[in-house]
Structure formats: structure tokens, C-alpha cells
Structure 1
Amino acid sequence: MRPFHFTAAKLNLQDCQELLRGRFARGKSWEIILTMYEWDDNTDNAPDCNEKPRFTSHRNNARRYPNRSQGMNKRSDDNRRGERENYNNKSNGRDGAIGRHFDFKETLDLRTECIGRIIGRGGSNIQALRTEFDVQIDLDQSQGIATVLGNDSVNVNGAVERIKQQMNECNDGQRQYNGGTRNRNQFHNDRSNQGHHQRRSEVLDDHVNGANVETPHNGNNFYEENNQEIFYKDGVIDWSALNARADIERAERWAKCPPLTKNFYKEDPEVTNMGEDEVARIRLENNNITVGRVFVQENDQPSNIPNPIWKFEHCFAPYPDLLDEVTKQGFQTPSPIQSQAWPILLKGEDMIGIAQTGTGKTLAFLLPALIHIEYQSIPRSQRGGPNVLILAPTRELALQIEKEVNKYSFRGIKAVCIYGGGNRNDQIQNVGRGVEVIICTPGRLNDLVQANVIDVTTVTYLVLDEADRMLDMGFEPQIRKVLLDIRPDRQTIMTSATWPPGVRRLAQSYMSNPIQVCVGSLDLAATHSVRQVVEVVEEDDKFYMIKKFIKNMQPDDKLIVFCGKKVRADDLSSDLTLDGFLCQAIHGSRDQADREQAIADITSGDVRILIATDVASRGLDIDDITHVINFDFPRNIEEYVHRVGRTGRAGRTGTSISYLTRSDWAMAPELIKIMEEADQQVPDELIDMAERYNKMKERRSDEMSKFNGMKGRRGGGGNRSYGNRNY
């Protein structure tokens, strides 16, 4: 008799399989080593077949194979390594349960977005497939691979076809799924592994032999992943080759897109015949409009920029039904941003619009969008999805844009607003009924795109409204993700109140030679139609002062009070209510229904006081707000400018009152610049505060310089060595 050992995965004894599966299959990854006996044919001392086998177990991460008694031979390093690799290889004919054998295997690639459909709710779909076809199905979600194992080739093939059918249903009208299946024959034949992994020869020998044959990687040519060539050179990725391949595939992806028409502008002769001096005069009179291409290269040929207009008829005379809708709103002349933006957008150019809040930016991109939708060569019923996508940073701004769209009834064009916090099922149903315009916040848009509710590949007119605010709120990853799925020849419009580096970087990446229209200066400035008042106060005096102001409000006055924190807004609202002042509060933690009700109340006049955080500093378009109070001064001067812009809108005037305490002295120098630019009176207390802050900064800078000099003379910072060791 000679002893030898092998893993339970190769046992054919049914009782041993049941024993081991029952005890170890539910645990963490274990390896079972059994000591069995092989008897010579000429021996008469065969053991009892009912004798319980001896076994020991070791964790995967700390396996040891000590020499055993009864004459067991120690394994060689090669066999030990081979056993470990084969044990960890899930495609070696086992489903992970010890002792399970299969004769046939199929492996196919999955679309990542369809894996959830294949699994089903609580695993119901995949369990039904296992039961129906008597197969084992393993899913590697990280790699997007499905492995089907079974002892009947008909059942294995049937399960594979069923999975492909589910993939095609998931694609829902996209190209049929032909995901390559791999290793279609029996395990013990050598087969080439195609598709997702590196091509290799997969030979599944007995586990006890430690065999794991794999074709070595060349390292100097390439291997294929998802049928794409990944180039290497001496182990380094050739990025230029990859970029070239990406450009080719991108062109192939969008080559079959339907034709797109972007130029709908018919310039009025009165505008065409303008001279350069007259064009310059009109732009100067309209708040000093500056126009130009922002990313011009040295070798680029100069291109014409459309002249500004000063009548609605100059742009919309060829579209009389839309012109009628504009005149119904009671506008007399276009706003400065509209006078230059409409010719540019109707001509099909990409545009960056920079203007202060309340200057008509929404209508500037909205009316050309309606014309863009209606006058495409393909009928709306055959486009398969929305044409216009408008991204906004906050729910309030998204709802405000939807309200503006609904004011203009043009050829039955429908719009829907989707945002986080709203009823998701209702939003899905509204999108499913068919819409041409989607107004959304980035988070909910990504949610519905990943759920295959919204197909953004049909979008041809993209608007990023308040782009600087979206970047400040951290939405850049979501924006970039969506832009990858929108056709590259789209028309893109970006609006912003400022021109920070992040907005510039985004525009340079995803816009095509855009024209920048700037109303006023690129420097940060508050609207000149608002009187700015600053009061230096103690923290404990703020509540008394705001109560005194509210008592003196006129019947037609409306007030927005900005607080720095949500809890601060709630506390102030409660205190004012207890003192008999009717008010509403709005911030990010309130339910969406409460937020909408608060805006409706202040708009209708049922409530004249709105307590808010910075969620209302942009996109809240209420024309008759007369006063803004900064109960807590904002953390940056940009937010101050946007808060001030909530009043003095649509040609009206307003007043902004800011309470500054000693803790706000760091904002004093910048606030003085904003007030001086708008010709506002700067109080002496604010000037003194700014001077003290600047002196403190100088003193601290001198102290740091002296400290650094002393540190250098002392020779600190070097490594100290003792003997041959460094500490």
C-alpha cells in the first residue's frame, strides 16, 4: 500500500462529496486535502469502504502543506503553485462548490448595463435559468463575463441563447447582441479563449498534477480586449495609437447619425448693411457687449461674427407664430445678451454667454432651441428621443426654465423637468410619453440615462445653464459622463455669471470653436440697479435689526433673507413666525413639495418674506423682490453677487442689506471693490475693517518669514544617521 493525497474537487465518491459540501461549501474559501489509499491489485488487505476519510483544512491566504506521517511525500514547489492557481481559477470546470463536475462550458461577454436584468430582482431571473436548464451560471460583474456550466450541451446552449435574448431585449432596439461565446466544447480539449481576456490556451488537467498551461504574453505587440487592439511597446502603452483607435471608433459610432441642420438664420437687410462703427456703437450702448472667439489658434482663419439686432423682427420675422408668442409677453426690445446671442445661435454656432443674473439668458437660448427642434429635416415622430437637453445646477432653476418654456406655445413642443427629490416614477412616465425638451439636474439625468429611460444620443442642442455653479457644486464628473454619449456635432451653449478656469476647461473640451458673448466686464461685479447697504453689527444684534426692518416694510415690499446654514434658516423662520411675521423657508433639506410651495407663496404674494440658503441665490426669478438681506454674509464674494442679483430684476431697482460681524472681516477688501465698481457708498466701518484685516495679513506674513529664516539657520530638516542606519 502506498499513500497519496489529492483535493476533494476530483473525488468521485458521492458520499465524500456530500460530506464535504455540507460542511464546507458555505464557508469562506477553503481547500480540502484528503489522505486516501491506493491498493495494489495483489493485496488482500483492502480497507473498509465505509471508513471515514481523514482531512485537514487551510485558509486560501495561508495554505501550508507539511510533511505528513504514513509516508506522505512532500509536494514540489511547482505542483504547489499549480494547485493554487488551478484552485483559484473559476473557469476550470468547477462552479465553486467543492466536488462539482461539468463536461461542457460556454463563456460570453455581457453588456454592463444589462447585468442587472439578467440577474433579476433578488436573483430571480438567473435562478430560473439554472432551474430550467439544469446548469450552473457564474457572473463576474467586474469583468462583464458570464460562464455557463453543465453536463448536457443542449441545456448549456439553451441557457446561452436565453441570456443573449435577454441582452437583446435590454438593448431595446439597439444593435443585436452577438457577444462572443468562448470554449464551447468539452473542458479537457484545448480551446482558444476569445473576447474579454488575453488569448491563451486553457488546459484543464487534473488538479493533483498542478498543471496550468498558459500562453505567455508577448509584451511587444498587442493583445485583444473586446476586439480592440491594445498596443504595447516594451511594456509601455502606446497612447498615440490608442487615441488614434479611439478617434476611429468614435467616428464609426456617430457615422450613422441622422443629418443635422443648425443654421436657421436669415439676416435682415437692415442688420446686414450695418457698418463697423454702428455695430460697435450698438454693442457699447447695450452694457458694453464684447464678442469674440475664445479658443482661436494661430493658424485659424478669421470667421465672421453676426451683427447684433435691436428688434425682435430681425430674428423672428421668418417665424411669425413664434414672434407672436414673444410679443404676447409684453417685451419691448431684446435685452443686451439676447440682441447678440440670438443671431449667433440661430446661425448654429456654439456660444458661451456671460452675463449677470436677471438679464434674460434663459430666453436667449430658449427661442433658438424651439426653432432648432421644429425645422430639422427628419420629422419629430421619427427622431426617437429628445432634441434639446438643458442642464441646471438646482431644482429651482430647472423648474424656472420649465416655466419659461411653457410660456411659449410653439408647434406643440413638449418639455419635461426631471430632478432629484421629485417623484421618479412620474418623471419616467412623463419622459415615456414623448418630449422634445428635457430640463434636468445632473444627478437625476445620470440616473435615468443609466436606467435606459432617456436616450441622449438623439440630443442635438445642449445647454449648460449656470455652468460655474454646477462646477462649484461638484457636478463636473456627471456632466462629462453625459457629454460622452451625445453626438459630437451637436450645438452647445454654456451660460455663466463668471469665467473661472473650470468653466474655461470644460468649454475647451466639449465645445467647437465657440463664440463668447460677455455683457459688461469679465471681472466680478454686482448689478448696478441695486443699492448696496452694509451694516457692521454684533452677532447678537442681528435678530433685533431684522425685526425692526420687517416692521417698517411697505405693503408692496418683498424680502429674501439669506442665511449661511440650513438650521439657521429654520431657526430664523421659527422665531419670526412666533413673533407674528408670516414667512416661508427654503433650503436643500426641505421636501420638494415644501420648496415649491414656498416659491409659489412668495411669487403670488401670499407670503412677503422668504428665508433661504444659497440654494435660492441662483435661478430664483421673482421680478418683484424689492429687498435682499444677507443675515449671514456668504463665504465667497461670488455668492454675494448672486444674492444681490435676486432683486433689481427686469428693469426694476432694489436694495441689498448685508450684516457684517467681526468674523466676516476677511471679506471686507473684496466687498469694497464690488461696491466701488457699482458706485456705491462704502461705510467707514467697512474701510476700517478692511484695513485691520490687511495689517493682520502683513503681520502674519512677516512672522512666518522670520520663523522660516530661524528654521533655516538652525539647520533643521536633515536626516540624522546613527552608524549605518538612517532614522
Structure 2
Amino acid sequence: MSDWEEDWDNGDSKATSKPYNKRNNAKDNSISNRSDESGRHRSSENRAPIRYPQAGEKRSNGQRHKHSEKIEVPSDLVGMLIGRGGANIQRIQNDYNVRVDLDKESGTATINGNTEQNVKDAYNDIEHHLNNGPGSRYNSKDGSSGHQSNAIYNFQLKGRNNKPGDTDDIEMDPSGVIDWEALNKKAKKERAARWSKLPELRKDFYNEDPEVANLTPREVARLREENNNITVSRVFQQENVSENIPNPVWKFEQCFSAYPDLLEEIYKQDFRKPSPIQSQAWPILLKGEDMIGIAQTGTGKTLAFLLPAMIHTEYQLTPRSQRKGPNVLVLAPTRELALQIEKEVNKYSFRGMKAVCVYGGGNRREQISVVKGGVEIIICTPGRLNDLIEAEVIDVTSITYLILDEADRMLDMGFEPQIRKVLLDIRPDRQTVMTSATWPPGVRRLAQSYMSNPIQVCVGSLDLAATHTVKQVIEIMDDGDKFYKIREFVRNMGKDDKAIVFCGKKTRADDLSSDLTLEGYMCACIHGSREQSDREQAIADITSGHIKLLIATDVASRGLDIEDITHVINFDFPRNIEEYVHRVGRTGRAGRSGTSISFITREDWGVAKELISILEEADQEVPIDLRNMAERFKSMKDRRANESSKFNDRDGNSGSRGYRGGGGAGGRGRRDRY
């Protein structure tokens, strides 16, 4: 299990159903906050898993019910009635306080309950699902399946108190054909009515400095080129619409002179001038535009969106004391990044604004207490956010400024469903900021769906590249030699050196940490299975200098902003080249230089070609053995493609045996501990 999967297990996925457990025929109770008849929320921790009886089996919990009804269930509709992972039948039992026993042999469902009305309501619910299932007599004649009817049925119900059969809102002719156009118009009208009740939103707080406004196009182009070749454009350009992009700034006063108390906080940090991303992002965000920031880690992206967020929050038309909830929401992929952003927020004291970091693994009760006490800024991971939204602790309808930080990483980790769910619950006229180190198709689709004519600010090239302030060293060796190499490195570390050593697996990180400790070298270890308190302590120790060596998995490849890391060592090369770039970015931060050392084995030959491109782009030395490795991998692929083609020509079907890109012809090969 990867580190991000472990983060989910530790509490970051409560809004997402887990797979159906076939062993005990029960659905894992990760969905919290069902409601009983009184409307009170019932925690999944207090609800025993529901077990569906097998054919001919009776429940034996000793409970008797006063009322019972049976309904025939065709064999081809049993699965639909149960639902994915048992979700549908569990919903019926919870909603109507009944028990449903399925007998597959006789093809019946027995509904047992204490009140006649509950049993009748559950019966109607089940009948509705059966009548609208595939192949039922109520399927629409245009070929649309019963799932569409179910979808529109669920869409039209106005709350959990509606009972099946309350279908007056569904536009359907006698033949069963649904008027989708009418329903879409009605949905659009209802959404507009919902958002019209919210207070008016102000987004433009930018007064352009005359010195900035008077720049000529040539001077603007020169400033952007000098600032690490910034490129700016409306990424989804609309026809006959001017780009109207603000000019960059080069002084803090040009953006924040109207906010002297915030400007004073900036001066306290001893910054000399805005970073490249800040110089262009601040005018855009203060003007109220949606923005996509594409820049490498360690370039000041957090401050680029944070200071405009504070101004946006303070100067809304509705006073802060009269608002019903927070204004700023920051979504981050990992706990470490979320905590890092919270730390950055706390550096700037502006008008008494409060922030809270909400993440799985933290003290849930304490987080809820802080949120209920009143905050302006919420920094969170997607899973815990959805958990607290469903628990009605957080109401995101008050959010007017949304940041999706490290969006590419969140999509890589599988958080897209949670992100889309949150985006639908936030007012559509919000201001949205998205930051990313890369610009993959998934991030582009998300931006196109949920952002309003955004401006993209790209620092450097859109092509994947490692920071040029880091010297990248490649060492090719056998897997069994890695430990001796790392021990030699640690033995020769200087007084001011700090290093992060990245391992591919949690067990590998634990083993390496234990063995180095036994050798007498102080180090800490961080990965997804560690307790949150241990993870935070490890980061605090490496930041303060109490220890000089941190052993980590990719849970630390993003979000760790420790300025004085001098070395990054890839004990195991990462699973993709994007993670390599992010690991390298842990050093060489804040204008400093750093060194990255990567141990490459024969099992890593699948990434050799991409690694060469990264090294050449940064003008680094490329070992001849690495080039040979890339050539051998290409030859292997060509050879197997030819073999597969010949096999297909001979037998008339696909006979490709495939290959393991990262594992060589013999799979993982050596079974050494290191």
C-alpha cells in the first residue's frame, strides 16, 4: 500500500466508500453520518456492519418484528437492489428502520419492521427500484436504461424525508420518456435561486501603481523574461475577448501600499523583492481573476495566493462578524503540505485572522472545536474536509476564495472525486486559484470545468524540469551496495549538512532508519504508517537541526519547506520522473544551492531516458552507463514488439507477454534487503 493510501486509511477518506468486503458479505462502514428518524447523526463507529443472509438462512439476533412484507425480486435485479458494496440495501434499512432479508433461491425479499408504515415505505422504495431497473416494464421506449430513471428520481427528491413514489417533479409522458430539457432548465433555475440568497461578493481590490501601469509592452516582456522567463495567457482563450492581463510588479509597495499593516508583516520576513511567481500572481489575484500557477516547488507559490486571500477576506462588503463561516479554503494533497501552509499563514498577523488545519490523523474533536469557534481560513486535505462537511461542522457555502494547492499531486493520489464534490458545494462566482508543478490533462480538465476564464502564469517551461540550483549526481550500482554507500555518505557529512534520504517503501525506510541508528547515526523516519505526532516531531527535529538526517518515503517529497536541506539522496529511485523532480526540489530552496544524489540499479532502466532529458535540460553530467542503460531498454522494447508482431501474424490474435518497465527481463531480480 502506498503512502497516500495509508493517509486515507488514517482518516483522509471518510467521504469515499470503500470496496465491498466479499469475505463477510458486508460493506465497510467508512461512510459516516447516517441519520436516524429523529434526524440525529449516527457515527459509523457505533453501527455494526450489516450482514445480508444467504439463501434459506434466517437471522438469529433474537429480535422480533411486528410487521413483515415479501416482494418478488427477479434474479437479474438482485445486484441492483443490493447496490454497489451493499450501499442501496443498507440505505433502505437505515432510512426506514427495517431489516431486509434476501432469499436468492426463492427470489424474494422479506421486509421486517416494527411499524406498518415503515415496512410499507421500504416496500415502495424497493418496488420503485425494481420497476426502473434494466429490462423492467417501465423502461423508456427511447432505449434509455432504468439507471437514468433512478438518477433523475434521486435528483428530484427534495430530501431524505421524501418517500418513493413522490415523483410529481419528474417530467415524464405516459410512455415513460423523460423530458431532460425541462429538467435541466428546472435544475438551472433552482441552482440560481439557491445562490441568489448569498451576500454580494467583491473580488477586485487592485489599484495599479502608476509606475506599473505606464510600462510599455517591451518593458513588460523584458520584466517577465528576467523573472525566470514568465509566460502569461488566458489558458482557455475566448473569441473576441481581450486578454487584459495585469502587468507584473517588482516591488512589494506596488501591490500592498494601500494595506500598510500587511506590508509591515512582509518586511518582517526580510524578503528583498517578490519572487517571479509573486510578481505576476499578486496583480492578477488582487484584481479578482481566477489563476493557474505553474511553477516548481520552493518558488513562493504559497505566499503568492495567501496575501491576496487575506485582503479578499478582510474587505468584503459584509463585515466578518456577520458572516456565517470561513471565506478561504485551501485544499492540499498531504498532511505535511497542509501543516506547512498553516505555518506560513501564522507568520502573517493581519487583522486578527484565524486559520485552522484540518487533516486526517489529527485530533478530530480539537479541529471541530476550532472551526466552531470561528475561523476565516481553512487548510485541509480532501478526505477530512468532506468528512466534516457531511457532519455539518463546515459549511462551504460561505467560501469565496478557493485554492487547490499541488493540484497535480491531488489528482495523482486519486482525490479528484472528493475535489469535484466540494467544488459543486461552493458558490460558482467564487475566486479560484490552482497551483501545480506540472500541467497534465487531468489538471487541465479540472480547470476547464470549474474555473472562470483563468489566467495561467507559468514560471520557466511547461516541460518537466528540475530546479537549476541543484547539482544532480547519478551513481549506478547494485542494490546490495546501497547501504554501504549511504553509510559512507553519512560518515562524511559536514557540520552544516542536512539530508533527506528517500526510500521506495515504508518497510525499507524503517529498516534503513533502524540500521543507521544502530550504527550510531542519529536520524528520524517519516512515512504514511507513522503516527501523526511522530511525523510532526520528525519534521520539527530536522527543521531545528536536532537531527541532520531524515529517512522518508514520497509522503515528504512535497510540502516540506526546510530551507537549509543541503542534500537529497534517492536511496530508491522514485516510481516516476515527476516524483524525482519533486524530491530534488526539497533542496536548493530560497536561493540556496543543493546536491541531489540518486542510486540507480538495473531495475530502474525504464526511467533512464526521461532522467537523461531532465539532466540535459539542467546542464548536468550524464554518465555513459546511464545512456547505455537507456539504449538497452529501448532495444528490449523493440525486440519484444517485434516478437509480439510475429506472434500475432502467426496465430491471428494478441500474444504479447508484456514486460515490466522498471524491473528488467527478470523482474525484481535480487532479493537483498538493501
Q: CA deviation at 1:276?
A: 0.2
Match for residue 180 of structure 2? Answer: 239
Q: CA deviation at 1:381?
A: 1.0
In 2 relative to 1, CA 28–283 (structure 1 residues): closer, same or farther, beyond 3 Å? farther
SS in 2 for 1:230: coil
Kindly indicate whether the alpha-carbon contact (under 8 Å) linking 1:675 and 1:681 is maintained by their aligned counterparts in 2.
Answer: yes
**Which of 334, 337, 340 is equivalent to 1:394?**
334
Distance 1:178 1:572 in 2: 56
So what's the TM-score if we normalise by structure 1? 0.70
Match status 1:249 vs 2:218: no
SS in 1 for 2:434: strand
Deviations 1:621-650 (A, max 9, x none): 000000000000001000000000000000
Deviations 1:61-92 (A, max 9, x none): 79xxxxxxxxxxxxxxxxxxxxxxxxx9xxxx
Match status 1:294 vs 2:235: yes
Match status 1:640 vs 2:580: yes
Distance 1:490 1:243 in 2: 23
Kindly indicate whether the alpha-carbon contact (under 8 Å) linking 2:357 and 2:378 is maintained by their aligned counterparts in 1.
Answer: yes
SS in 1 for 2:449: helix
Q: CA deviation at 1:245?
A: 2.0
2:187 is matched by which residue type in structure 1? A
Match for residue 402 of structure 2? Answer: 462
In 2 relative to 1, CA 141–694 (structure 1 residues): closer, same or farther, beyond 3 Å? farther
**Which of 536, 553, 575 is equivalent to 2:515?**
575
Match for residue 258 of structure 1? Answer: 199
Q: CA deviation at 1:509?
A: 0.7
Match for residue 285 of structure 2? Answer: 345
Q: CA deviation at 1:178?
A: 11
Match status 1:511 vs 2:451: yes
In 2 relative to 1, CA 534–237 (structure 1 residues): closer, same or farther, beyond 3 Å? farther
Distance 1:463 1:477 in 2: 16
SS in 2 for 1:385: coil
Match for residue 667 of structure 2? Answer: none
Match status 1:597 vs 2:537: yes
In 2 relative to 1, CA 285–451 (structure 1 residues): closer, same or farther, beyond 3 Å? same
Kindly indicate whether the alpha-carbon contact (under 8 Å) linking 1:29 and 1:60 is maintained by their aligned counterparts in 2.
Answer: no
1:623 is matched by which residue type in structure 2? E
Structure 1 gaps of 5+ residues are 1-21, 33-58, 63-87, 89-111, 120-129, 146-176, 182-194, 200-222, 715-727
Match status 1:280 vs 2:216: no
Deviations 1:425-464 (A, max 9, x none): 0000010110000000000000000000001000000000
**Which of 493, 505, 520 is equivalent to 2:460?**
520
So what's the TM-score if we normalise by structure 2? 0.75
Kindly indicate whether the alpha-carbon contact (under 8 Å) linking 1:272 and 1:307 is maintained by their aligned counterparts in 2.
Answer: yes
In 2 relative to 1, CA 422–328 (structure 1 residues): closer, same or farther, beyond 3 Å? same
Kindly indicate whether the alpha-carbon contact (under 8 Å) linking 1:393 and 1:469 is maintained by their aligned counterparts in 2.
Answer: yes
Distance 1:296 1:577 in 2: 56
Distance 2:584 2:124 in 1: 52
Q: CA deviation at 1:248?
A: 1.1
Deviations 1:210-258 (A, max 9, x none): xxxxxxxxxxxxx52xxx3334695444433332222111101101110
In 2 relative to 1, CA 635–139 (structure 1 residues): closer, same or farther, beyond 3 Å? farther
Match for residue 698 of structure 1? Answer: 638
Kindly indicate whether the alpha-carbon contact (under 8 Å) linking 1:231 and 1:241 is maintained by their aligned counterparts in 2.
Answer: no
Match for residue 331 of structure 1? Answer: 271
1:308 is matched by which residue type in structure 2? P
Q: CA deviation at 1:140?
A: 6.2
Superposition RMSD in Å: 3.2
Alignment of structure 1 residues 351-430 onto 2, 5 Å:
351-430=291-370
Q: CA deviation at 1:707?
A: 1.4
Match for residue 667 of structure 1? Answer: 607
2:420 is matched by which residue type in structure 1? R
Distance 1:526 1:138 in 2: 63
In 2 relative to 1, CA 178–507 (structure 1 residues): closer, same or farther, beyond 3 Å? closer
2:233 is matched by which residue type in structure 1? G
Match status 1:621 vs 2:561: yes
1:240 is matched by which residue type in structure 2? E
Kindly indicate whether the alpha-carbon contact (under 8 Å) linking 2:96 and 2:119 is maintained by their aligned counterparts in 1.
Answer: no
1:276 is matched by which residue type in structure 2? P
Distance 2:489 2:449 in 1: 48
In 2 relative to 1, CA 196–594 (structure 1 residues): closer, same or farther, beyond 3 Å? same
SS in 2 for 1:330: coil
Relative contact order, higher structure (CA 8 A, sep 6+): 2
In 2 relative to 1, CA 662–141 (structure 1 residues): closer, same or farther, beyond 3 Å? farther
Kindly indicate whether the alpha-carbon contact (under 8 Å) linking 1:31 and 1:60 is maintained by their aligned counterparts in 2.
Answer: no
**Which of 213, 227, 246 is equivalent to 1:306?**
246
Deviations 1:236-293 (A, max 9, x none): 4443333222211110110111010000000000000000000000000111100001
1:636 is matched by which residue type in structure 2? N
Structure 2 gaps of 5+ residues are 1-59, 75-80, 82-89, 98-112, 127-156, 655-674
Identity %: 70
How many aligned residue pairs are there? 537
Distance 2:340 2:122 in 1: 41
SS in 2 for 1:576: helix
Match for residue 492 of structure 1? Answer: 432
1:359 is matched by which residue type in structure 2? T
2:494 is matched by which residue type in structure 1? Q
Q: CA deviation at 1:671?
A: 0.2
Kindly indicate whether the alpha-carbon contact (under 8 Å) linking 2:523 and 2:547 is maintained by their aligned counterparts in 1.
Answer: yes
Deviations 1:649-687 (A, max 9, x none): 000000000000001100100000000000001011101
Alignment of structure 1 residues 79-228 onto 2, 5 Å:
196-198=163-165, 224=168, 228=169
In 2 relative to 1, CA 448–688 (structure 1 residues): closer, same or farther, beyond 3 Å? same
1:648 is matched by which residue type in structure 2? G
2:185 is matched by which residue type in structure 1? A
Match for residue 72 of structure 1? Answer: none
Kindly indicate whether the alpha-carbon contact (under 8 Å) linking 2:121 and 2:164 is maintained by their aligned counterparts in 1.
Answer: no
